[in-house]
Structure 1
Amino acid sequence: MTEATTGISAFDRDTAITPRGEGVYDADLSADWTIGHAVNGGYLLALLGRALGDALPHPDPFTITAHYLTASLPGPAAVRTSAVRTGRTLSTGTASLVQTGEDGREVERIRVLASYGDLAALPGDVRTSAEPPPIPPYERCLGARDGMDPAAIPPITHQVDLRLDPATVGWAVGAPSGRGEMRGWFGLADGRDHDPLSLLLAVDALPPTAFELGLSGWVPTVELTVHVRHRPAPGPVRVSITTRNLSGGFLEEDAEVWDSRDRLVAQSRQLARAALA
């Protein structure tokens, strides 16, 4: 991968925000981050996270929860932020992304509640029983576009460097494992190194675990909570996602993100809808 400098990569360009004043920002949702007709939820969360990082006095998302109300579409959008509380080590705020609907009325797409701090100021003591996921080396994993019909490749696939663990891609050849697991190496296609904002994308950028459960089709996110634990070291990250329970047409996805220094840098849980028919 070629290296891109932070600030000029496609990710930075497409999550750019323009302050309008009083905590409001203008944005342009890029069609390059879509799956089907909708914009990817992790990309949207990163954009909202950038707005909150500008609006709040602390730089880094520690915990951020998004409720996805309606599908976001490529094009103009506005982000409205509000500070709820500002403390010495943490500040908390809300954000809402809105677009203009076909009838000219404003439609709220996402609502977020988040707490921000300074990851660089955290103590270095780590006590954990968590271990990195058993993913084969990068060169032995499968590219997201390998063997796919070019016409069926979603635009977001061209923006990321995704290499999937062969043990979790049975769905691609009509033989899903039934285990509800998805694992892979994840980076940005232009080589930009990860930061806390790109981790918000990473937790929602792999194919849905529903595919390995034998389901197909769109799996829209209802709610997504991300905990960012460290600033990631340079290089691609490893992402592991599991689903243990699908019930009533809803499933959970628990994700872990590990950096090149074998540190658990982000965790998430989301609730999503799954088409059972």
Structure 2
Amino acid sequence: MAPLGKATSVAYDGPSAVDSDTKVYRGDVDPEWTVGHVPNGGYVLALVLEAGIQHQSSTTHRDPIHVTAHFLQATSIAPFQVRVRTLKRGRGFTNILADLVQQDRTRITTHMIFGTLEPPRLVPPSRYARRVPLYVHPSAAVETRMARPWGFKHHAKWAGDPHLRAQNLPSDPARAAVSPTTVGGGSLVWGAWFALTGPSERVTPASIAFFADTFLNMPSLLPREERGGLVPAQTWFPTVTMTIAFHAPIPPPSARHAARTVGLYSTGTFWGEPQGRHGSYVEVWTAPSELGQGVEEEGWRENQVCLATATQMALALPMEVNAGRAKYDAPSKAKL
């Protein structure tokens, strides 16, 4: 049981006995970074990403640039291996394959691109540069309750942006104006400042995978009458596929950038069958101060950068499926 920085630790175990070109990293899935009985998808992807970062640490391509992950089977609270293999090493990028294995089964398979991450080109004051899309400065943000069945609640806190949440109401002017002649429209939005509470915690490249999977999705944001009987607190939203594009290096902690707080913004548009399939788009931003601290200064948005964007496809299943998944794995937890 550990804060995120320690819970994402992996250790090099040497080359694979089957294929010397494959390097093996080991670790244990922490029992607190869960959704119900199953490890959070972004958290376990952070374990895979950390193995990839260690694998690339002695090369010229040390920074993750892009990650594509397929979640083949839910992971469990048990030991794991990450098996990493270099697919292609080029002048500007290195492509690697990394699989997370538990109980002799590949649970997650990934394709990762590494390179050298540089500061973004399109930044303020350009009118074409995107600014952090949260309305309230972290110092003035009001902490909101985490209603989800998250085992890591005491390691983190967040403050949802009320201005974004209000845009989802049926009475919002933009939504009320929707008619048969409307072009586009629809969608739901959400945003929050998210902080790791441990004083020694830091935003890291691996932790971005966790942040990108910690948000309120479209089925949860819909008005009750639009959900078709779905109850978010009784629903498990397992990730099936996830991609992350890294856009900027993480700035060191300073008066302009927080050490353990990020801004999150997400949108969702489509929801349907099979199995409540839905997609989400997420942005992970730097924060100008820690949540509940600091002072709002003029132009604070101009100094923030988008660290990464992510998309995912997920399902909406009863929480009973989540509990059943854990029972299925229970007899062989100690086996890799």
TM-score normalized by structure 2? 0.68
Which piece of structure 1 moves more, 254-263 or 188-197?
A: 188-197
**Please, which runs of 5 or more residues in structure 2 have no aligned partner?**
16-22, 167-174, 176-185, 288-302, 319-336
**Identity of counterpart residues, as a percentage?**
27
Instruction: Report which of the two structures shows the higher radius of gyration computed on alpha carbons.
Output: 2
Q: Following the alignment from structure 2 to structure 1, what is the Cα–Cα distance between the partners of residues 144 and 236? A: 21
Q: Following the alignment from structure 1 to structure 2, what is the Cα–Cα distance between the partners of residues 228 and 123? A: 11
Specify the alignment match of 2:217 in structure 1. 208
Kept in 2: contact 1:179–1:212 (CA 8 A): no
Deviation (angstroms), 1:244: 1.0
Letter in 2 for 1:200: A
The structure-2 alpha-carbon separation of the partners of 1:194 and 1:156, relative to structure 1 and needing over 3 Å to count, comes to same
**Please, which runs of 5 or more residues in structure 1 have no aligned partner?**
1-8, 101-105, 171-176
Specify the alignment match of 1:271 in structure 2. 313
Alignment of structure 1 residues 158-197 onto 2, 5 Å: 158-167=154-163, 180-191=188-199, 192-197=201-206
Specify the alignment match of 1:4 in structure 2. none
Q: Following the alignment from structure 1 to structure 2, what is the Cα–Cα distance between the partners of residues 17 and 66? A: 18
1:15-38 Cα deviation digits (max 9, x unpaired):
111211111011100011001111
Q: Following the alignment from structure 1 to structure 2, what is the Cα–Cα distance between the partners of residues 158 and 34? A: 12
RMSD (Å) for aligned C-alpha atoms = 2.3
Deviation (angstroms), 1:113: 0.4
Letter in 2 for 1:42: G
Q: Following the alignment from structure 1 to structure 2, what is the Cα–Cα distance between the partners of residues 111 and 237? A: 27
Kept in 1: contact 2:134–2:263 (CA 8 A): no
Kept in 2: contact 1:135–1:183 (CA 8 A): no
Q: Following the alignment from structure 2 to structure 1, what is the Cα–Cα distance between the partners of residues 195 and 93? A: 29
- Corresponding residue pairs, total: 250
Q: Following the alignment from structure 2 to structure 1, what is the Cα–Cα distance between the partners of residues 162 and 119? A: 37
Q: Following the alignment from structure 2 to structure 1, what is the Cα–Cα distance between the partners of residues 131 and 270? A: 22
Specify the alignment match of 2:323 in structure 1. none
Large movers: runs of 4+ above 4 Å: 167-170
Letter in 2 for 1:161: K
Task: Please give the secondary structure, in 1, of the residue aligned with 2:312.
Answer: strand
Kept in 2: contact 1:180–1:210 (CA 8 A): no
Alignment of 1:220 with 2:241, yes or no, is no
Letter in 2 for 1:258: W
Higher relative contact order (Cα pairs below 8 Å, separated by 6+ residues): 2
Deviation (angstroms), 1:13: 1.3
1:190-217 Cα deviation digits (max 9, x unpaired):
1423122221211111233321124421
Kept in 1: contact 2:143–2:157 (CA 8 A): no
Task: Please give the secondary structure, in 1, of the residue aligned with 2:219.
Answer: helix
Q: Following the alignment from structure 1 to structure 2, what is the Cα–Cα distance between the partners of residues 160 and 59? A: 28
Letter in 1 for 2:264: V
Alignment of structure 1 residues 74-153 onto 2, 5 Å: 74-100=77-103, 106-119=104-117, 122=118, 125-126=121-122, 128-138=128-138, 139-145=140-146, 153=149
Q: Following the alignment from structure 2 to structure 1, what is the Cα–Cα distance between the partners of residues 71 and 197? A: 26
Specify the alignment match of 1:6 in structure 2. none
Letter in 2 for 1:243: G
Which piece of structure 1 moves more, 133-142 or 217-226?
A: 133-142
Kept in 1: contact 2:143–2:160 (CA 8 A): yes
TM-score normalized by structure 1? 0.82
Task: Please give the secondary structure, in 2, of the residue aligned with 1:201.
Answer: helix
Deviation (angstroms), 1:169: 6.3
